[in-house]
Structure 1
Amino acid sequence: MSFTLYDAIVPTLRQLLGALPGVIAKAEELVASSDCTDANLLEARLADDMWPLPWHIRACWMHSAYALDQLADGAFTPDFTAIPESWDEMRSLIADAEERLAAATPQEIDAIANREVNFVLGGETRFTLPGERFLLGFNMPNFQFHATTFYDILRMKGVPLSKRDYMGNPAGPMFEG
């Protein structure tokens, strides 16, 4: 059995993306049933020098759907615009990422493996990696960091979440009947 770059990336991204709407729903339930407000959650961050809650959904989108579109041209330039301002905007980014990943093919992802990818920030190339290392060593850890941080901020603010909420369906949406 061969294991492809697609197999290493896409199912896990889709699994974790698939869990995020449920995490958001639990946050909204807390707001509806307590004195916690949307603003208390949306403005929350783990530390003063970290991004607030909605940024982490933007980053999950950026390191999944946006990255796949960027990497086709051999460069990744982070997009720090359009930070979601509501639960619905976060859900929209998640849906967009899920749609893009569902459309990705093994051939498309595997074609990135040997292509050089430049990380460009502020118009300047900061580093270059083979596509496989970029996806596995940069994009995937960034995606997981931001998904985890989103979960952690909400957990810290009292949203009743478990590890299962973070993980979603281990079989992932690709294997649901």
Structure 2
Amino acid sequence: MPLSLHQALIPSFRQVVGAMEGLVDKAEAFAAERGRDPAELAGARLAPDMLPFSWQIKFVHGHSLGAIEGVRRGTFSPDRSPPPADLQALRALMRDTAAGLDALDPAELDALADRPMRFEMGEMRLPFTGEGFLLSFSQPNFYFHAATAYDILRAEGVKLEKRDFLGRLRLAA
């Protein structure tokens, strides 16, 4: 039985978005326990030329719910406005993302599969179908930014395990 676009994306997006909310919780607890400024963790990065934790969390939103909104509009451009600066606002962003993903109508998302759309960044214009964009561009970016957020916190000393990245698994009953 083939998977619908909704089945291929939303449950896994939802699982990892929940895990990212958990990462924010652990970062906040770590900062309190160690007497560190939570804003320092929000601004932590792996390398000088990489975006910090706050941007990684923002792009998890952008390449899940934001990407679906882009397909609806017919164009997607990365949101370059500053991310939330504090951990509470990052948690709220993940909660809002989760709520938006939960509210998606599967039939509506599946109907966007063949819809033409464009990725636009500066002068670059890349044509896609909705399905091609979501599965070949946004989904890999989603996982890249989620893994990078996890890696930043690990590098900062936050005690995380693989299950903190995986989130709530969809186990058989």
**TM-score computed with the length of structure 1 as normaliser:** 0.91
After superposition, residues 145-156 of structure 1 pair within 5 angstroms as 145-156=144-155
User: Which residue of the partner structure matches residue 157 of structure 2?
Assistant: 158
Structure 1 residue 37 displacement after superposition: 2.7
User: Which residue of the partner structure matches residue 23 of structure 2?
Assistant: 23
State which drifts further: 61-70 or 3-12.
61-70
CA RMSD of aligned residues (A): 1.8
Query: Which is bigger in relative contact order (C-alpha 8 A, separation at least 6)?
Result: 1
SS of equivalent to 2:64: helix
Partners of 2:103 and 2:137 lie apart in 1 by 22
Q: Which amino acid counterpart does residue 94 of structure 1 have in structure 2?
A: M
User: Which residue of the partner structure matches residue 121 of structure 1?
Assistant: 121
State which drifts further: 155-164 or 107-116.
107-116
Partners of 1:36 and 1:146 lie apart in 2 by 24
User: Which residue of the partner structure matches residue 62 of structure 1?
Assistant: 62
Contact 1:65–1:96 (CA under 8 A) maintained in structure 2: no
User: Which residue of the partner structure matches residue 45 of structure 2?
Assistant: 45
Q: Which amino acid counterpart does residue 166 of structure 2 have in structure 1?
A: M
Q: Which amino acid counterpart does residue 145 of structure 1 have in structure 2?
A: F
User: Which residue of the partner structure matches residue 138 of structure 2?
Assistant: 139
Structure 1 residue 35 displacement after superposition: 4.2
Partners of 2:39 and 2:66 lie apart in 1 by 27
Contact 1:54–1:90 (CA under 8 A) maintained in structure 2: yes
Structure 1 residue 2 displacement after superposition: 3.5
Structure 1 residue 126 displacement after superposition: 1.8
Structure 1 residue 125 displacement after superposition: 4.9
Structure 1 residue 72 displacement after superposition: 0.9
Structure 1 residue 26 displacement after superposition: 1.3
SS of equivalent to 1:72: helix
Structure 1 residue 73 displacement after superposition: 2.1
**TM-score computed with the length of structure 2 as normaliser:** 0.93
- Runs of 5+ consecutive residues of structure 2 not aligned to the other structure: none
Q: Which amino acid counterpart does residue 21 of structure 2 have in structure 1?
A: P
Partners of 1:48 and 1:55 lie apart in 2 by 14
User: Which residue of the partner structure matches residue 81 of structure 2?
Assistant: 81
Contact 2:68–2:134 (CA under 8 A) maintained in structure 1: no
- Runs of 5+ consecutive residues of structure 1 not aligned to the other structure: none
Q: 1:22-46 CA deviation, whole Å, 9 max, x = no partner?
A: 1111111211111433233122111
Partners of 2:56 and 2:76 lie apart in 1 by 18
Aligned length: 173
